[in-house]
């Protein structure tokens, strides 16, 4: 029976149960399958986190070796997907390239219409494994560079950096990038994950669900915020201009990107870890001005609006220091969140109910069509 109360944006609506992650705004904590995300970032690899999200437990050494073998074997793009990426206009946003590539990969996937648990796990792994090839190739072609083939002697993050920049990645950078991948991997019923679940609920295939999720992630109120943060930093320029910039922006009712959160109102538990990663990158690349600006804007925003930063705030400038182009930041988020999205697709499928809410109609009353019957 429909309730009469309208919850705009579905804010606070409990839409289903999930065992994948727990967001607790009261304690500012985020748990993946029970483990605090900041502890996972400090102690285990992104590959282990992927396994954890899909299977519910961290892998044994053998399980990890098996997943690693399969992931490394699935890193290469089919030739025609590679060709299609190279042909897309460089004027389009890289998220359009991700969305298109995933859709095309679905058309290729021999198990596209097989929704057995084994097939879904295999597809999730393939999608996750191939994403760095999509994202790195796109950044390179936009820079007028040739694509770099994946290396099967490198872990997920190191190989990602290798393919993006064509150079042996430095351990400090791999460590920082890896932490960002772990932190972005999963976040309960956020807009893109919910989109994936809505699509799955119609019994559509995993690639359709993920293609839709990428569309939802593109927007600046969701994943697009990490790019917008970097643009804000570039617009402000230096810490001494931050307060005046913020006053102007708030006066013109702008949303300050990288701040605020639908769920966490007292701070995002992922921020301290990513702020520390940003600190490592600032030290590594010798760019102290970034942190001055970061801290000044954060403090000013807190004093003026009592609003704290979300994960995108430290992630944007960290990716910039690592050398990624700004428009590639959200596709990096895609590669990471592929793990969470696909875990949710599998969970939705295992206990499915078509997601189909109702609305309160507020258009014209019933009326007559003008003219006489034909």
Q: How far is the CB of 312 from ligand CMC (least distance, A)?
A: 5
What's the rounded Cα separation, in Å, for the pair 323 and 258? Answer: 20
Pick 200 or 330: Cβ nearer ligand CMC: 330
* The three-state (H, E, C) secondary structure of 1-44, written as one string: CCCCCCCHHHCCCCCCCCCCEEEECCCCEEEECCEEHHHHHHHC
Show the site string, 230-249: x = touches ligand CMC by CB under 6 A, - = not: --------------------
Of 18, 13, 52, residue with least CA distance to 35: 52
Question: What ranges make up the beta strands (E) of the chain?
Answer: 21-24, 29-32, 35-36
The yes or no reply on residue 258 touching ligand CMC (CB under 6 A) is yes
DSSP string of 73-132, one letter each residue: HT-SPPHHHHHHHHHS-TTS-HHHHHHHHHHHHHHH-TTTT--SHHHHHHHHHHHHHHHH
The answer for residues whose C-beta is within 8 angstroms of residue 199's C-beta and 6 or more apart is 208, 209, 212, 213
Active site annotation includes 312: yes
Residues between 8 and 27 with contacts to ligand CMC, criterion CB under 6 A: 9
Q: How far is the CB of 249 from ligand CMC (least distance, A)?
A: 8
Segment near ligand CMC (CB under 6 A), from 168-176, 197-205, 254-262, 357-365? 254-262
Site for ligand CMC in 197-226 (CB under 6 A): 221-223, 225
**Nearest one of 118, 150, 145 to 131, comparing CA atoms:** 150
- Exactly one of 207, 261, 320, 344 is catalytic; name it: 261
**269 vs 272: CA distance, rounded Å:** 7
Read off the DSSP letter of residue 286. T
Q: Does 175 bind ligand CMC (CB under 6 A)?
A: no
- Please report whether residue 185 would count as binding ligand CMC according to CB under 6 A: no
261 is annotated as an active-site residue: yes
296 binds ligand CMC (CB under 6 A): no
CB-based closest residue to ligand CMC: 260
Binding mask 308-327 for ligand CMC (x = CB under 6 A): --xxx---------------
- Using rule CB under 6 A, residue 86 touches ligand CMC: no
Among the listed residues 255, 276, 279, 284, the single contact to ligand CMC using CB under 6 A: 255
Residues assigned a catalytic role: 222, 261, 312
């Amino acid at each position: 029976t429909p309730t009469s109360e309208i919850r705009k944006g579905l804010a606070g609506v409990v839409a289903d149960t999930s065992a994948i992650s727990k967001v607790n705004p009261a304690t500012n904590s985020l748990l993946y399958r029970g483990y605090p995300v900041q502890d996972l970032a400090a102690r285990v690899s992104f590959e282990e986190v992927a396994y954890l999200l899909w299977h519910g437990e961290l892998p044994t050494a053998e399980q990890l070796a098996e997943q690693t073998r399969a992931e490394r074997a699935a890193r290469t793009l089919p030739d025609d997907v590679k060709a299609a990426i190279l042909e897309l206009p460089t004027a389009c946003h890289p998220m359009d390239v991700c969305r298109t590539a995933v859709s095309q990969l679905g058309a290729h996937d021999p198990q596209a219409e097989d929704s057995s648990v084994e097939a879904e796990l295999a597809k999730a792994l393939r999608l996750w494994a191939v994403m760095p090839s999509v994202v790195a190739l796109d950044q390179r072609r936009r820079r007028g560079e040739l694509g770099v083939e994946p290396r099967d002697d490198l872990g997920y993050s190191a190989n990602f950096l290798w393919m993006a920049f064509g150079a042996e990645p430095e351990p400090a950078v791999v460590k920082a990038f890896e932490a960002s991948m772990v932190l972005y991997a999963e976040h309960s019923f956020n807009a893109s994950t919910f989109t994936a679940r809505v699509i799955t609920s119609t019994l559509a295939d995993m690639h359709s669900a993920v293609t839709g999720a990428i569309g939802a992630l593109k927007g600046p109120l969701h994943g697009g915020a990490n790019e917008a943060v970097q643009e804000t930093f570039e617009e402000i320029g230096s810490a001494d201009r931050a307060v005046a910039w913020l006053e102007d922006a708030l006066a013109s009712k702008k949303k300050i990107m990288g701040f605020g959160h639908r769920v966490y109102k007292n701070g995002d538990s992922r921020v301290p870890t990513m702020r520390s990663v940003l600190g490592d990158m600032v030290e590594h690349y010798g760019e102290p001005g970034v942190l001055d600006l970061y801290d000044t804007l954060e403090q000013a925003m807190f004093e003026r609006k009592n609003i704290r930063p979300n994960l995108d705030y430290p992630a944007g400038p960290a990716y910039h220091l690592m050398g990624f182009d700004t428009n590639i930041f959200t596709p990096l988020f895609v590669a990471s969140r592929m793990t969470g999205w696909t875990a949710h697709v599998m969970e939705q499928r295992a206990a499915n109910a078509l997601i189909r809410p109702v609305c309160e109609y507020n258009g014209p009353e019933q009326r007559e069509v003008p003219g006489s019957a034909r």
